Structure 1
Amino acid sequence: MNALVYLEPEQIAWGEVSKPTLLKPTDAIVKMTKTTICGTDLHILKGDVPTVTSGRILGHEGVGIVEAVGSAVTAFKKGDHVLISCITSCGKCEYCKKQMYAHCEDGGWVLGNLIDGTQAEYVRIPHADNSLYAIPPGGDEEALVMLSDIFPTSLEIGVLYGAVKPGDVVAIVGAGPIGMAALLTAQFYSPAKIIMIDMDRSRLDVAVRLGATHVVDSSNGDVAKAVLAHTKDGVDVAIEAVGLPQTFDICQHIVRPGGHIANIGVHGKSVNLELQKLWIQNITLTTGLVNTNTTPMLLKTVESKKLMPADLITHRFTFDQILEAYEVFGNAAEKNALKVIISAGDD
């Protein structure tokens, strides 16, 4: 089969590799029909994720068709259309029993990290019963690719950890796919204002279309001052959706007393935590890796058309165009890209 292989920082290749096989009774082999590229994949390419070693097949998102299942798999069979969770969970360990699937003792974020991932024609899914979701008949599989990672991540680590509630003023720093997904899911909880912050004017325009009440161009002037102009004394919830010291700083400077900073971004460098200012402000700071315990609910919202993840799709490619897809996604501002869909050629 063909797959996208990480070689070293800034080096990837699309080429022939061995097709995966069942290694444990709880495994499934899935024939990939659609996948995508995540901001985390770009962090891997930059060398920010040292657990990813040379030869690893990248990718942790997608949908596909079950090709084979191990003898212990009971929830799925050959031919089933499935959504692949970015988080693998055994369902039995101490962390899984707390719904902290990200910290599963025999799973967590392993796809495209510690084991081969989904940017391939076939992928092995450990603990298939707990790591796959059945796609409803007639489901929009392109839209559902967004439920592998970015929507549960934004909802859980941004909106829920940030404790967004009716009437809140919410600021989202970063109008990329994660920030846009936070924008869409924050609206479940009826905040009074949602302020989107980014330096890309076209993304800010999209944010307005998707529900942002205010936008701030971070390439011009004092960002914190511009945000504070829309508030009484700061925002109730500041969601960091980039993963840079500068964007984390913005959150520290705009959060109001008693507010929340919810960090979603993947950080490859240390940040300056201004605890000498924040300690007296009763600030709550949260971080996290998605647990995907909200995925079943999100599936229902997509099925009922209350949530429209397909609104974030800007580009489509086939598997043999995956290097071009990386080029486009890696230069998102220049290419006006949000999420890309990469489909099997015969799909």
Structure 2
Amino acid sequence: MRATVMYGPKVVQLESVPDPVIQEPTDAIIRVLVSCICGSDLWPYRGFDAIPEGGRPMGHEAVGVVEEVGSEVRTLKPGDVVLMPFAISDGNCEFCREGLTTACAHLQFFGAPGIGGAQAEAVRVPFADGTLYKVPARESGRALLPHLLTLTDVMGTGHHAAVTARVEPGKVVAVIGDGAVGLCGVLAARRLGAERIILLGHHPDRLELGRIFGTTDVVMERGEAAVERVRELTGFGVHSVLECVGTEEAVDMAVQIARPGGAIGRVGVPHHAGIPATTTFYKNVIVAGGPAPTRAYMPELLPDVLEGRMEPGRVFDLRLPLEQVAEGYRAMDERRAIKVLLEP
């Protein structure tokens, strides 16, 4: 089959690799219908994260069709359409039962050594019963695929930012970052009843989509000017901050614009030294968040997609065949695309 492998900064190739096979009785093999490139894939692409010798299989989000299951798989059968979240979870451990699947006792991530990536024609899924989420057969049409795909990562991650930032009806929310996760964070905040949603970003096309998703105010300033602008709009700052970038600048800004007693939901993959301890202490600011347990959020979010109450798949503004995956990386790296959808 064909699969995407990254060998170094700016070096991404689609190449022929062995077909995945059942290795454990709890495995399943899925044929990928759609996958995508994630903003977090750009960290190694830009040289910020190490790449193993021999290359790294890429891709951790997919919607697929089950082709084969191991002897101990109980809830899935060939032909089922499934959502494949970025994290592998057994579904039975203490943390999975609590809804924190990204702390599973058997946690693994797609693209890790020994685990294939989803930017491919097929992928092996360990602990298939606990990892994959079945979509009703009548709801698996191609028009829905982009929206369904967001539930495997970016929409679930935006929702996690909103939940951990304690977004509630009547609250004032700020979303830092106008990438796919930040835009989905806007959707999540609106869904949870936020009264006002301030989106901090720099790209007019993305900010316009943010307005469609529910943004009420836009802040395009940077650094201290952005902080001052948020304070002008809100007075003491915001109740909830969704930090969807992961840089030191974004985290510092989140701490500064949170009002006393506010909360920060941080879901940007951290590429910074730490979180300002003194400011968060004296402002009584709650800092929460982390890798989103997207598998646990699927039962809650899927009906809103199936019934048309939200369309998070609009973050995919470039669709490419799998053979053009390298162009997809370039487009996202150069900010020519918010998020790239790949079709094998």
TM-score, structure 1 as length reference: 0.93
| Secondary structure of the structure 1 residue equivalent to 2:74 | coil
2:300 matched residue in structure 1: 297
Aligned-partner residue type, residue 121 of structure 1: E
Matched, 1:267 2:266: no
Matched, 1:171 2:174: yes
Hey, what's the Cα distance between the residues in 2 that align with 1:51 and 1:76? 34
Matched, 1:192 2:195: yes
1:240-259 deviation line (CA, Å, top 9, x unaligned):
11111111111111111100
User: Pairwise CA RMSD of aligned residues?
Assistant: 1.7
Aligned-partner residue type, residue 225 of structure 1: E
Matched, 1:239 2:242: yes
Hey, what's the Cα distance between the residues in 2 that align with 1:3 and 1:151? 25
Aligned-partner residue type, residue 46 of structure 1: R
Aligned-partner residue type, residue 73 of structure 1: V
- The gaps in structure 2 that reach 5 residues or longer are none
Hey, what's the Cα distance between the residues in 2 that align with 1:211 and 1:50? 37
1:162 matched residue in structure 2: 165
Structure 1 residue 45, shift from structure 2 partner: 2.3
Identity score, percent: 32
Q: Contact between 2:84 and 2:131, CA under 8 Å: does it hold in 1? A: yes
Structure 1 residue 195, shift from structure 2 partner: 0.2
Count of aligned residue pairs for this structure pair: 338
Q: Contact between 2:267 and 2:292, CA under 8 Å: does it hold in 1? A: no
Aligned-partner residue type, residue 138 of structure 1: E
1:112 matched residue in structure 2: 111
TM-score, structure 2 as length reference: 0.93
2:31 matched residue in structure 1: 31
Q: Contact between 1:34 and 1:343, CA under 8 Å: does it hold in 2? A: yes
Hey, what's the Cα distance between the residues in 1 that align with 2:53 and 2:309? 40
Hey, what's the Cα distance between the residues in 1 that align with 2:167 and 2:238? 11
1:230 to 219, 228, 233: 233
- Cα distance, 1:53–1:186 mapped onto 2, change above 3 Å: farther
Hey, what's the Cα distance between the residues in 2 that align with 1:131 and 1:53? 28
Q: Contact between 1:8 and 1:53, CA under 8 Å: does it hold in 2? A: no
Matched, 1:150 2:151: no
Structure 1 residue 306, shift from structure 2 partner: 1.1
Structure 1 residue 11, shift from structure 2 partner: 2.3
1:11 matched residue in structure 2: 11
2:278 to 276, 279, 299: 276
Structure 1 residue 74, shift from structure 2 partner: 1.6
Q: Contact between 1:36 and 1:341, CA under 8 Å: does it hold in 2? A: yes
- The gaps in structure 1 that reach 5 residues or longer are none
Hey, what's the Cα distance between the residues in 2 that align with 1:291 and 1:181? 15
| Secondary structure of the structure 2 residue equivalent to 1:257 | strand
